[in-house]
A and B are shown apart, each in its own frame.
Chain A
């Protein structure tokens, strides 16, 4: 799960990380009011969206007067910001962060991530602050310093110290940099983060070490022990179809195309998406209905795939292992009744491939209850090819 910068900074502040004084604003008036309450001559107006690269996209503005704050807030609120990370569609700005300006001396990069290979948390630092770390890793990997953290003892003071010296913090900032690292690590493990990234981390003219930006991602599997983090979820930042699916216990990722699929199991679902593309179709989604699919769940899956007219065809690919094919087939029949207007037809072609436990019974059920537009596929390959051809034919007809 992701949260906004201003929320991340509030979490980090509670762990003792130094962040600029700031307040979120949801309207122009609130922006002007909050700016007046923040000390200093320069205020930063920052667009809050769940994507990086905001600065370069014009989402971060320096203002020197209440009038400027007003003008920038008016410009940014409601604007579609297109950054390197949002994709061409961009994201609408609905929230701002109004922050005190800092007198920056130098920018650094600091993060904590999970290292899969060593199965531990790793602290990464670089003097190339403000740059994307992927770019630094690709071009000048020697400029990234790493400290692997033993989970039995946590981040040790000597490791923070070694990082501070390796990044050449000025002498008067070494202790402050070390403290910030320790606090950031405590936040990472305390809140079950999957990423804690400060880019840039800065030293200021006043000799402070400040997290100028902050990005926290959280481990979804650990949210049960952080109800206060779960409350920070901003549904408007998420794909509405993905949110609806998550609420129904389905694993759905919108891929933008028009050939939808519904599969049991994440691996088979990924492989099915690949197969649709292999036969020349544009996959609409990844969708794993899981091992305990009830008719209600399958009906919800159909509704999500069909919403907004996105799916022009659906490929149902089920391998009944523990899942029994007859139950899935019954689920499809029931779902078609719930989704269709007349109770026995679906608006787009649905190709069904069933294999595995109780497959004969499953196929019989689909034969016994004819639903217009439902086609049985004898093989998985045949099914994928059929659905892609049907969607292409429909597109041709539409002209």
Chain B
């Protein structure tokens, strides 16, 4: 099981003929993902890693029955690529591209209203359902099958956290990097709702960072609706106000979006927040033990 993607997901790689896309197409196939088509305008008829290339997403979908895509196009073309995928009614669209203009993303969000497409990203590492499928650049080998869902705004922090979980014998269902941009597709709330309904997921690890108030909103929703225990980590306690910390969305603006506020909101609803990045694994273990599900989650 897991959320958003799995064995049945048939994936188009948009921008498949680019260097990074070729590399990751190979990686995704090796992980067992059904990569059924690629799209690069003007390159129809070619093949990349044995995958047929089409000129448009619509052509690719009609020929292969694809229901998802992963986007590796340059940032300036990313918004158009997302909207093309949504127009073709793909269910899940993962945008890896970084530095997509914010006003482009605002248009995209408006365009997606009323459509059935679930956008993940942009500026994200993608999504991986353990031993089933990966859409994006998350390294597969650090994961083990289990029952903890991982949601994160950061790529390397997702890997770091998953690595610690695996080392502690705690397997995962799905790891999803929602990306570091201020205006994006899937947010904590969307992923939490999915994990809440996924019978295979027993607990969730949520990794946030400074900027915005998505973590605070998630805390409120968890208190009211979440049936499963949640552990958390927030990066950026030492970030100075007004400075962008690498991610476009990681900025404390007008005194809002501090790590302290987020930790307070999470603690207030009973969620333990790891003191340091090195303690994420043990914090999850403590949370699982407290909920009495450690043995069930100790899968590897």
Residues of A participating in the B interface, judged by any CB pair closer than 8 Å: 114, 116-117, 119-121, 133-134, 137-138, 150-152, 189, 192, 194, 219-222, 224-225, 251, 253, 255, 263-278, 283, 286, 288, 319, 321-322, 355-357, 379-381, 384
Contacts and interface: CB of A to CB of B under 8 A. Distances in A.
A355 B156 contact: no
B14 to A, nearest CB: 19
B83 interface: no
Contacts of B180: 266-267
Given A219-B102, A270-B246, A356 B277 contact: no
Contacts of A381: 276, 278-279
16 contacts: A114-B183, A116-B213, A117-B217, A120-B106, A133-B254, A151-B103, A221-B102, A225-B76, A253-B244, A267-B158, A267-B247, A268-B235, A269-B246, A270-B235, A321-B155, A379-B278
B110 A270 contact: no
Given A221-B99, A275-B278, 5 more contacts: A120-B110, A222-B101, A267-B209, A321-B125, A355-B163
A283 B238 CA distance: 8
B159 interface: yes
B137 interface: yes
Contact of B183 (A116, A269, A357): A116
A194 B212 CA distance: 14
A63 B185 CA distance: 52
B183 A286 contact: no
Contact of A221 (B106, B156, B248): B248
B142 A219 contact: no
A270 B245 contact: yes
A208 B5 CA distance: 58
B152 to A, nearest CB: 7
Nearest to A221: B99
Given A194-B102, A264-B156, A275 B276 contact: yes
A288 B246 contact: yes
B243 interface: yes
A119, A189, A263 — which one has the most chain B CB atoms within 10 A of its CB? A119
B109 interface: yes
Given A116-B212, A134-B255, A278-B275, A321 B156 contact: yes
Nearest to A191: B103
A313 to B, nearest CB: 17
Given A119-B106, A270-B250, A355-B163, A322 B275 contact: no
B297 interface: no
A391 B99 CA distance: 36
B59 to A, nearest CB: 28
Contacts of A275: 276-278
Nearest to A252: B246
Nearest to B122: A221
B81 interface: no
A380 B277 contact: yes
B93 to A, nearest CB: 16
Interface in B157-174: 157-160, 163
Contact of B277 (A114, A255, A271): A271
Nearest to A283: B238
A192 B103 contact: yes
Given A275-B277, A356-B139, A219 B163 contact: no
A33 B49 CA distance: 68
B246 A251 contact: yes
A12 B246 CA distance: 29
B12 interface: no
Nearest to B241: A85
B240 interface: yes
A114, A288, A379 — which one has the most chain B CB atoms within 10 A of its CB? A114
B235 A255 contact: no
A117, A150, A288 — which one has the most chain B CB atoms within 10 A of its CB? A117
A120 B275 CA distance: 34
B153 interface: yes
Contacts of A267: 152-158, 180, 207, 209, 235, 246-247
A277 B236 CA distance: 11
Rank and list the top 8 A-B pairs by shortest CB-CB distance, nearest first.
A267-B154, A266-B246, A265-B156, A267-B157, A271-B277, A222-B101, A270-B235, A119-B109
Nearest to B23: A322
B284 to A, nearest CB: 15
B103 to A, nearest CB: 6
Nearest to B184: A119
Nearest to B236: A270
A266 B154 contact: yes
A192, A263, A321 — which one has the most chain B CB atoms within 10 A of its CB? A321
Given A119-B109, A266-B180, A319-B160, A356 B238 contact: no
A87 to B, nearest CB: 9
